[in-house]
Structure formats: structure tokens, C-alpha cells
Amino acid sequence: MPQHIVATEVPPASELPGQDAPTDTPERMPSHHQHRGLIWLVAAAFFMQALDSTIVNTAVPAMAEALDVTPLGMRIALTSYVLTLAIFIPASPWVCDRFGTRRVFAVAIGVFTVGSLLCGMSQTLPQLVAARVLQGLGGAALMPVGRYVLVRSIDKRDFVRSMSTVATVGLLGSVLGPLLGGILAQYTSWRLIFLINVPVGLIGMWMNRREMPDYRLDDPHRFDLVGFLLFAAASAMLLTASEVASGGGGKWLNIAISGVLALVFGSIYVWHSRRTDHPVADLNLLRVRSVWVALAGNLFTRLGVSGMFLLLVLFLQVGCGWSPTMAGLMMVPQALGSIAAKWVINRLLVSMGYRRFLLTNTLIVAVLLCSFGLLGRGSPMWLIALMVFTYGGFMGLQYTAMNTLIYNDLDVKYASMASSMASTAQYLSMSFGIALASLLMEALLQGHAHEDYVVSFRWTVVLLGIVTATASWVFSRLSRDHPKRARA
């Protein structure tokens, strides 16, 4: 009987319901190069999803004019996609176990592509919202299934390097999205923002047949529908509270109601998950130290950094009077910095370990975030570009380390559940981070003059830097000799 590498903190299999090992696991191929096609397939899916999450923002005015609504009325078209992602991601592990990773990934790409096509053809706001929801249904499976397959297929020694490649490609989508969206909306049509996903999706479906392994369970357990509905309701209420808060307008009663409902649904789910054999999100995994540290550290880090892109664009465009194209171009150094830095992440983690590295790097990110508060209307472009490049490099290191930490002490049979929980936590924390940044900047804004936005930006980034620094305390909870592994 083969031995598996697990952490000493991992509970016995009998205490982790619904996580039986697949019975038809294909032979592991540990070489990074042997899985190059699979890595690029997953990276392409991440790119398509990341691009779509950011490309819409700069095209909102053009879309609002074409659909005959106000720009503020377009908000639901932006939030519906993220809401759908957060709600349906937890169902991906069971869907993979039941139908197989190859089929699920193909359907996910297909649904996302069809949703993109319908977005580009939408004539009214309700049509666009419905198409965005369809996009979210497909996108909800792309990230967790992609991560799960990489964990199952690639040796741990090459996993960090593989995830760096995937994360870098996804980051390119996030950074190029606003620039590309502005260019397309200004010089062609906002509909191309969605239609460019169609050829990428078709290529991805072709690659899926060639490169994607097919992992599944011979006898999958029954789907936890009650738990899924409770978890979905809690996630939706949390996201609704954050979106209402970031929208301003003093809607504190609605925020309170959404928050209370989220707490109620969440509490019921915790009670339910402990009484079912196969919960949709297995909270027993939080008994593994590296798992709860990874999730909590991700939350506090993203609370501080997720709104930085929005703040910087507002600072450059409104505060400094830059054009949208120039402001979008200033995001490119962030991607270049991240790409350059990620080539060394594997060696840094090997030499320093997760605890020491994340403690140090998180504090550096917090300091860099605060340093943006030194900028003003007269700051030279080369200085801003240099700061963005440096910030992007350390954030690239941070994201890769946080995204791989959750798998480090887990046996491969828990990878599907861990991937789902990590993806859901990521989208929730991103939403909260953007909401927090918006609330802080709005609260600190004393007027609508250019200088008012500069002052508000300065204080906001300092406060967000302090929030980010708290994540270092979370990462300090890791064992000093981490990573620590033992044979089961």
C-alpha cells in the first residue's frame, strides 16, 4: 500500500468525511516539462477569467451609453459575475468527482465562452446581467479545477514553479484588462471586450482534449445540497453587504441586514457541516495549521491590497489628470515586476520556508503600500513606474506563496476541497478589499478637487498598509520548522 505525505496535524481519514481518495488515479508524472501543455491550458483559462474580471471596468461609460442606462446602473453587471463565482465554486469538487475533470473543464470553458458571446450580443442591461451570470457559472469551475489537476499531476517539488507560471499568466490578464478595455471601448466597440474570449475559449476546448487528465471517483457521494444553499446564501449576503457599503449613500440598515443574515446562514452551515458526512466545504480541514493560516492570511492580505489598483487609477486620472490610456499603461510595470520576481520564488521558499518568507514579505508589501502615500501631482512618471514595478514584484511573490501554502501539508486526496475553499476565500476577500478601499477613500475625501483626491489617496494607502501588516501576525502562527511533513 503506497504511503502518502501528510502533515502531522491532519486528522485521521475517519474524521475528514467525504474525502476518500480517487480509485482511478492516473500515474503521476513529476516532471514540470512533461506537463507543459497542461500548465499552459490552465494558465490560458486563468488568463481568460482574470481578463474578464478587470476589462469591463474602464468600458462602463461606453456600455452604459449603448444600453441606455446610467453608469451607476451598470453596477449590477459588474457584481453579478463575482457573486456567481463565489457561490458556485464550492460545488466544483463534487462535480469533478462525479463527472471527471476533463469533462467538467471542457464544459466550464464552453459555458464561459458562450456567456462571453452573449455578453457581446446583449442589447439591454437585463440581457447583459444574465450573460454575466452564465459567464460566472463557467468561470466558477476554471480556477479550482485547474489548481486541483495541477496538484494531482505535478510533483510537489515542481508545483510552486508550475503555479508561478499559471499565476503570472493570470496576472497579465488582470493588468492588461483595464488598458485593453479602455482601448477597445475608445477606438472600436465595447462588445469586443467580451467577444475576444470566444477564440481563446475554442482553443482551450481543443487543448483540453489533448492535455487534460481525467480524475474522478468511481462511486461519488451524494451532493450536499442543503449545505451548498446555506454556504451560497452566507457568501451572497457577505458580498451584498460589501457591495452596498462600497456604493455609499448611507444604506447602513441594508448593510446591517445583509451582515446579520450572513452570520445566521454561516452559523447554520457550521452546525450542518458537523452533522453531515460530505459537507460542501469541509471545515475539518481548518484543523491543519497551514490551511487555516493560508486562508486567514489571504483574507487579511487581500483586504489591504485588493483595492490598490482602483485607488491608483483614481489617483492618476482624477487626482493627477492623466488620461485613461496612460493610467492603464502604468499598470504594466506591476505585471513586469511580478513576472521578474516569480522566477526566484521557488528558491526563496526552499531556503527560507513559508513562515519566515511570508512574515518578511508581508511586511515589505505593507511598507511599499504605505510608500505610495508620498506621491503627489508633481511626482515624475519614472518614479511612479519604479514604485509600481517594485510593488508588483513583491506582490507576485506574496500571491504565489499564499496560493501554494494551503496544499503544502495536505495529502493529495484533500486537494479538491482545499482548492475550492481557497478559491472561494479569494473572491470573498477581494470583494471585501475593494469595498474597504472605496469606503476609506470616500470617508477621507473632503471635496471633489484634484488635490482632495490626492490627499484622500495618501491616507487611504497608509491605512491599507497597516491592514496588510496584520497579515504578518497570521503567518507567524505557522510552525517555526515549517514546512513540516511526516509519513502517515
| Half-sphere exposure for 69 (CA within 13 Å, toward CB) | 16
Q: Which residues fall within 8 angstroms of residue 78, CB to CB, at 6 or more apart? A: 56, 57, 60
CA distances (Å), origin 371, targets 247, 306, 365, 465: 27, 16, 10, 9
* CATH architecture for segment(s) 283-488: Up-down Bundle (1.20)
CB 134 within 8 A of CB 115: yes
Q: Render each residue's pLDDT in the chain as its tens digit; 488 residues.
A: 333 333 333 333 333 333 444 444 444 444 445 567 788 888 888 887 777 777 776 666 677 778 887 654 566 677 678 778 878 887 877 888 788 888 888 999 999 999 999 999 999 888 998 998 898 888 888 877 887 788 777 766 677 777 777 777 777 777 677 778 777 877 788 888 888 888 888 888 888 888 788 777 776 778 888 988 998 888 778 767 766 765 554 567 777 888 899 899 989 988 998 888 778 777 888 888 888 888 889 889 988 888 787 788 778 877 888 777 777 778 778 878 887 887 788 888 888 888 889 999 999 999 999 999 998 888 899 999 999 999 989 998 888 888 888 877 777 677 767 777 887 788 777 777 777 887 788 778 777 777 888 888 899 999 999 999 999 998 888 876 544 443 32
CB 446 within 8 A of CB 105: no
The per-residue DSSP string of 342-393 comes to HTTHHHHHHHHHHHHHHHHHHHHHHHHHHHGGG--TT--HHHHHHHHHHHHH
- 486: helix, strand or coil: strand
Give the span between the Cα atoms of 410 and 422, in whole angstroms.
13
Q: Where are the alpha helices (DSSP H) in 248-288?
A: 252-273
- 435: helix, strand or coil: helix
Per CATH, 34-213 and 283-488 having the same topology is answered: yes
- Nearest in space to 135 (alpha carbons), one of 112, 158, 168, 156: 112
Q: Give the start-to-end residue ranges of the domains of the chain.
A: 34-213, 224-279, 283-488
CB 295 within 8 A of CB 313: no
Give the span between the Cα atoms of 21 and 299, in whole angstroms.
29
CA distances (Å), origin 95, targets 53, 214, 240, 428: 24, 13, 26, 21
CATH fold for domain 34-213: Growth Hormone; Chain: A; (1.20.1250)
